[in-house]
Amino acid sequence: MEKCPVCGGEVSRTLGSTWASCPYCRSPLLVEEGAVMARYAVRPSLDPAAALRSLLRWMSGSEPVVGLPDAAIGTPRLEWLPVWFARTRGKGGERTHERRADDAAVLEARRRLIPPASMIRLTGDTHPFPGASDFPQPTVSAAAFRAELEGEEVLELALVHVPFYRFTYSFRGMAYTAAVDAARGEVRPGPFPKKAEWPFNLLAVATLLAYVLPGFSFTGVATGQPAPAAATLIAYAAILPLSAAVAWLVAKLF
Ligand SMILES: [Zn+2]
C-alpha cells in the first residue's frame, strides 16, 4: 500500500490508472508504476485581456514582422501544461527540479515554468479552477524524470498543471498560434512571421562595397597619386551614418 500524499491514508497502488482520487480525502492524485503522487496547479494571475496585452506587446517588438499587431486575433483558451516537479536533497542541499511532461519537441529550458509561490496542491475540498477537469495527462513518464534526478534523494515527486492562454491569429492569410503564460505573462511564440532579413543583408554588403571600392583608389595616396579632395573624404565619412539611417527606415517598413 502507498500513502495518500495529502491525508496520509493508505491507498491501493492499483487505484484506477493515472488519474485517481483518494478514497478518504477525495484529493486528485496521479498513480504511475505503483507510485501515488500529489498534483498541483499554478494559479493563473492574468485574465484573457491581460494575456492579450502581453501578446500585443510582443507583437510590436523587434522580432516579428512590422504590422503583426494588426493580425486578426481570436479569443484565447486557458489550457494546462503538465510539468513534472521534484524536491530533492543532494550534495548541494535541497533543490527543486522541473521538466515538461508533454512530449512537445521544444523544451524551453531557458525559463522556469513553475513560479513556486503560486503552486497550489489540489486537495479534495479545493477545486480552485473551473478547467480542472481538462488537465491533460503527462506523456513523459515519471520514470524518465526520475532518471534525471540520479544521485539525489527524492523528497517529493509531483505533477504540476501550469496554465497558459493559447491564442490563434491570422496574418496575411496564414494561421499561427502563440501561448502566453497565464501566471507571468511571458509570450511563448510558436513559428511566427519574422522580419525579413534580406534588406539588412543587402544593406550590409552595399555599405561594405562603398568602403572597399574607393579604398582601392585611396591606396594610391601612398604611391604618389594626388590626395583625394576634401569632398570625397566627407562623402566617405558619411557612408556609415547614411547606412544606419537606411537600416532604421528598413526596420520601420518591413
Ligand atoms: Zn487522501
Separation of 86 CA from ligand 1 center, angstroms?
A: 20
State the pairing for strand pair 35-42/72-73.
unpaired
Separation of 130 CA from ligand 1 center, angstroms?
A: 22
Q: What is the b/e burial string over 98-130, where b = at least 16 CB atoms within 10 angstroms of the residue's CB?
A: bbbbeeeeeeeeeeebbeeebbeebbeeeeebe
Per-residue pLDDT of the chain (254 residues; tens, 9 = 90+): 789 999 999 887 765 568 888 889 989 899 887 789 999 999 889 999 999 999 999 999 988 888 899 999 999 988 888 999 999 999 889 999 999 888 765 544 456 788 878 899 998 866 566 655 578 889 888 999 999 998 899 999 999 999 999 999 999 999 999 999 998 889 988 888 887 777 778 888 888 888 777 665 555 555 556 666 777 778 778 888 888 888 878 777 76
Rounded Cα–Cα distance for residues 200 and 114 (Å): 38
Annotate 99-147 with DSSP letters as a single string.
EE-S--S---TTS-S--GGGEEE-BTTB---GGGGGPPPPSS-HHHHHH
Q: What are phi and psi of 41, to 5 degrees?
A: -135, 150
Separation of 147 CA from ligand 1 center, angstroms?
A: 27
Rounded Cα–Cα distance for residues 21 and 34 (Å): 14
pTM of the model: 0.74
Separation of 4 CA from ligand 1 center, angstroms?
A: 5
